[in-house]
Structure 1
């Protein structure tokens, strides 16, 4: 049994070698000749999986170590009788912490408190729901927009996108990319929406680049409303608009979900799915794969302020470490993908144990995703 894996999937060779012969290959593009003898293919979001790639190959299973699946023609896979698995939620925590790092930095830079802002979350799936839980734990007002979920879930209070545009000081997008249909998200953020935003609004896109009309956003950032933008995803990738990069407050190379934990979850989820598919079910405890973090524990005195949260968060991850490299190499051929391929190890907040001097702070930190105790 031969299994092709994206060379940038951590732990993939180690895990899939338990099931067969493994060959690590570049993800953009997958060499067609390598597929000629492959039984299974494990990819990330950079690989377009469709009939053109897999027709006349012996591939019987495709796994994507990503939460999103818009790079996979799963309808064709089903018609072709090819098994398929994704990794929903694998990188959700990493994206949430990317957004938090960005928000805390902007609050410090511009001298505002997040508790004084209304944050609109568009797309309330694995990422959006976790982000909402952490924001509300801090006492921050949120507005939630997710029409497909609102149609089937009455347990949450959802609102229209128009209400978010009218009332939110900060808008953060966590939707799939739907090119058409009633829940179309292609260019959901267009010139009209940007014109309707509150002056000084902050826009964050860490889902798919095409959800935001990048040309319209550039025009808006050059306008009089003093908008602020944080972009992890671009239209198009990897050849992003350099003028837009110059205007955004924070710009990164589609790495919001790139925590070590998130990558490991993605790999283990598709590994477990494939092992089930071939009748050799195996489970892998995530902790058995992860190394010790650089910062394992710290002590915190008193109540948790936003300034203290900023310092704690940035002991683990500071988004500015990813903004600067993109600006240095932007426009150079292959450098966008190179930043992703050789991404520096990054951990999640749960890797840090915070020793507190009161139970209230310890409980709040747990809600925010840290490990904590009362020392």
Structure 2
């Protein structure tokens, strides 16, 4: 079996090597000729899996994307050709939750905010949105959800409208990118909605860049009443609107889900899916792929406050590191993709075990491991 994979997908050789010959290629530059003999194609979000890419892939049996989003894959084409497809829903939900948590704590420190009692609207109540909500609730924030498809399926009582969501103190977007239909998310945050937002309102996008109208945001930010923006995703990646970056609070190159655990989990989920298709049991475990973290455990001497929570979170992951690097390299040729490809090792909060005499249940709610872990 010949397996072609994005070179930025971790642990591909360790997991898939037992199933066949693995070839690693740059995800954004894959060509049809390179897939002519491929039986399996493994990608991330930068590879457009369409008719052009698969024009010579007559042997292809399986396509997997190690991502939550699937808008880069022409699934009807795969179905028409009888090619099996798998994605990795929820693989990086914990990582994105950690990213948003770090961002919230940075914003609180910069602006002197007490997060407890503030309102957070989650637009998109899927795996990732729920992970963000869990962290926010642990901070004492009042969380509400906007998700029209789920509201219709589950009853509107647990959800609010987008217009209501956009009144919250903080609005965090976690939707897939769709361009057609009643619930299309392309430019969900459009020029009219951007203009109606309150000055200094906090908005976070860790979903897809095209969900926000970036040009309209730039025009708003250049005015007298700018918003406070946290942007991990951008329209037209990697050729983003660089003029918008100086008008953001936090800016990063689509790495919210790039924890070591999240990326490994995405690859492992595809490995499991292919093993199932081949009628065999997985012979490897996800935990065996991960190295020991830099700091294994801490003993706390004080009950958790917002400041202490911030120090603990940022010991494991501080979004300001990624923001600083992004701004420093902004404008350099190929910088956006290079920062993703050469991303520094980052762990999830569960890599740190917390101990102490007082009850640590509140901190375990953020994902930190208990002493008995």
TM-score in terms of structure 1 length:
0.96
Quick one: distance in 2 between partners of 1:137 and 1:314? Answer: 16
Aligned pairs for 1:131-170 within 5 A: 131-154=132-155, 157-166=158-167, 168-170=168-170
Give unmatched runs, 5+ long, in structure 2: none
- Counterpart secondary structure, 1:224: coil
Q: Which residue of 2 aligns with 1:172?
A: 172
TM-score in terms of structure 2 length:
0.97
Quick one: distance in 2 between partners of 1:156 and 1:270? Answer: 36
Quick one: distance in 2 between partners of 1:181 and 1:54? Answer: 27
Q: Which residue of 1 aligns with 2:75?
A: 74
Q: Which residue of 2 aligns with 1:350?
A: 350
* Bigger mean CA deviation after superposition, 346-355 or 296-305: 296-305
The answer to whether the 8 Å contact 1:242/1:330 transfers is yes
Q: Which residue of 1 aligns with 2:26?
A: 26
The answer to whether the 8 Å contact 1:5/1:13 transfers is no
The answer to whether the 8 Å contact 2:218/2:243 transfers is yes
Quick one: distance in 2 between partners of 1:138 and 1:235? Answer: 31
Q: Which residue of 2 aligns with 1:369?
A: 367
Quick one: distance in 1 between partners of 2:139 and 2:103? Answer: 16
Cα deviations by residue, 1:63-82 (Å, 9 ceiling, x for unpaired): 10111101001111011100
The answer to whether the 8 Å contact 2:44/2:67 transfers is yes
Tell me by how many angstroms 1:30 deviates.
Answer: 1.1
What do you get for the CA RMSD once the two structures are aligned? Answer: 1.4
Query: Number of aligned pairs?
Result: 371
Quick one: distance in 2 between partners of 1:34 and 1:51? Answer: 14
Give unmatched runs, 5+ long, in structure 1: none
Quick one: distance in 1 between partners of 2:132 and 2:157? Answer: 14
The answer to whether the 8 Å contact 2:121/2:144 transfers is yes
Q: Which residue of 2 aligns with 1:244?
A: 244
Tell me by how many angstroms 1:165 deviates.
Answer: 1.5
Aligned pairs for 1:1-375 within 5 A: 1-57=1-57, 58-154=59-155, 157-166=158-167, 168-282=168-282, 284-359=284-359, 362-373=360-371
Tell me by how many angstroms 1:136 deviates.
Answer: 1.7
- Counterpart secondary structure, 1:266: helix
The answer to whether the 8 Å contact 1:65/1:87 transfers is yes
